[in-house]
Structure 1
Amino acid sequence: MLKSTSYEERSLTPLEVIAYFIISLLASVAGAICGIGGGVIIKPTLDLFHLDSVSTISFLSGCTVLAMSCYSVGKSMIARDSKVNLRTGTPLALGAAVGGIVGKQMFTAVKAMFADPNTVGAVQAAALAVITLGTLLYTIFKARIPTHKVKSLTACVAIGLALGIMSSFLGIGGGPINLVVLFFFFSMDTKTAAQNSLYIILFSQITSVGATIVTNTVPEFAWYKLVLMVAGGILGGILGRACNRRMDNKAVDKLFMGLMAVIIAISIYNTWQFL
């Protein structure tokens, strides 16, 4: 078991305890609306406040995203209002599931390379800043960029594999890169891409969290943090799903771009802070 005593030994204030729930709730609302899962917001925000170690934050964030995506995808399927294209979505999701395991192993390998865990945090933050910036630029100019309609099973699995590796390594669950891929390779509109992204995230997070448990690399954490974050994730999924149904594609795009700008700023600051 991994241990981060420098974080666990410090008692948290009531406000810091509540922060775990509030951050997970708000991130999951936005994640359910935009299809970015929420981890891309939770991970850098908790890193910003240094409430836990890099490994612990990645694991708790992954569990939260898993809970939110499980609710959102399950509810859509039960209500029969799902926009998930199973013909392409399932190969993507299966590829992402394998990628989730590979990405987790990559994170473990990179972590072992550095004695200081903050270095790993800096690598994650810098990579997230670059990926998010690229996503924001694509979203701004996507109306001018030709898109495709990939139908090849092999191509779908390969694309899903790449998505799973990136999301698992960065500890963000899925993130904005899913949407760009669905826009570009499959010509999906914003709300359709959001639902397909959550479907992919669900599979990648099941394997990522499962791999962490099976390989006995679960970092030490206080159980109340997990309970608070998972509760925030599920409630966020409920509220986010309701908001998504009332918003049009243009409104979702605006929210998405605003979130990307904030995440870029936080990630750049976190990179500097970790270094």
Structure 2
Amino acid sequence: MQAGVLLLVVLGTLIYTLNKDKVPTKNVRNVLGCAAIGLVLGMSSAFLGIGGGPINLVVLFYFFSMPTKRAAQSSLYIILFSQAASTVASLATGGAAGVDMLMLVVMACCGILGGFAGRKVNSRIDDRAVDKLFIGLMVVIMGICVFNMIKYMGV
């Protein structure tokens, strides 16, 4: 189910990204509007995991007229906080009992190192290059979704 939803969302995101120059954007500044958008983004990121990133970018492009690089950075913060909240909830309810803590620590450390490396790369490339990377990654994500659907649902 999650893979199917993510596939559709990423496909829509890809279509929007390829046509975003033709779509007029908003510049939401209303506190309630920002809070509602943040709530929806947080929930979708928690449901879709890291796959929520493409949704975040499109929403940040469209509703806040953010340039690509700033939207990517903001998306990472949204994912960080929504996943941190989800992790705390899992730990509090005992839902993380089967998690290999060594693997978790290694993954977290590598994620932090990847963040530093990504920040260096981000500072050296322009928005067009980021857009091309984003499009390529969306194609990869869609491929993974199709693979997961075939593997787990017998589609």
Supply the distance in 2 between the matched residues of 1:219 and 1:129 (Cα, whole angstroms).
30
1:254 and 2:141 equivalent? no
Runs of 4+ in 1 over 6 A off after TM superposition: none
How far residue 215 of structure 1 moved from its aligned partner, in angstroms, is 1.9
Supply the distance in 1 between the matched residues of 2:106 and 2:100 (Cα, whole angstroms).
10
SS of residue matched to 1:201? helix
Residues 221 and 203 from structure 1, CA distance in 2 versus in 1: closer, same or farther, beyond 3 angstroms? closer
- The code of the aligned residue for 1:249 comes to D
Supply the distance in 2 between the matched residues of 1:260 and 1:158 (Cα, whole angstroms).
25
**What is the CA deviation profile of residues 82-138 of structure 1, one whole-angstrom value per residue up to 9, with x for unaligned ones?**
xxxxxxxxxxxxxxxxxxxxxxxxxxxxxxxxxxxxxxxxx1111111111111111
How far residue 224 of structure 1 moved from its aligned partner, in angstroms, is 2.3
Q: CA RMSD in A?
A: 1.3
Higher normalized helix content (fraction of residues): 2
Supply the distance in 2 between the matched residues of 1:137 and 1:219 (Cα, whole angstroms).
40
Supply the distance in 2 between the matched residues of 1:163 and 1:261 (Cα, whole angstroms).
21
Structure 2 length-normalised TM: 0.93
1:128 and 2:6 equivalent? yes
Q: State which of 16, 36, 59 in structure 2 corresponds to 1:158.
A: 36
Q: Is the 8 A contact 2:26 2:63 kept in 1?
A: yes
Alignment of 1:100-249 (within 5 A): 123-172=1-50, 174-249=52-127
Q: Which of structures 1 and 2 has the larger relative contact order (alpha carbons within 8 angstroms, sep 6+)?
A: 1
Q: How many residues align?
A: 153
Alignment of 1:12-161 (within 5 A): 123-161=1-39
- The code of the aligned residue for 1:158 comes to A
Structure 1 residue runs without a partner (length 5+): 1-122
Q: Is the 8 A contact 1:182 1:193 kept in 2?
A: yes
How far residue 222 of structure 1 moved from its aligned partner, in angstroms, is 2.0
Structure 1 length-normalised TM: 0.54
Supply the distance in 2 between the matched residues of 1:222 and 1:210 (Cα, whole angstroms).
16
| Range moving further from structure 2, 136-145 or 200-209 | 200-209
**What is the CA deviation profile of residues 144-177 of structure 1, one whole-angstrom value per residue up to 9, with x for unaligned ones?**
0010001111111111111111111122274110
How far residue 219 of structure 1 moved from its aligned partner, in angstroms, is 4.5
Supply the distance in 2 between the matched residues of 1:245 and 1:197 (Cα, whole angstroms).
17
Q: Is the 8 A contact 1:128 1:267 kept in 2?
A: yes
Identity of matched residues, %: 54
Supply the distance in 2 between the matched residues of 1:261 and 1:174 (Cα, whole angstroms).
15
Supply the distance in 2 between the matched residues of 1:171 and 1:187 (Cα, whole angstroms).
24
Residues 273 and 219 from structure 1, CA distance in 2 versus in 1: closer, same or farther, beyond 3 angstroms? farther
Supply the distance in 2 between the matched residues of 1:173 and 1:182 (Cα, whole angstroms).
15
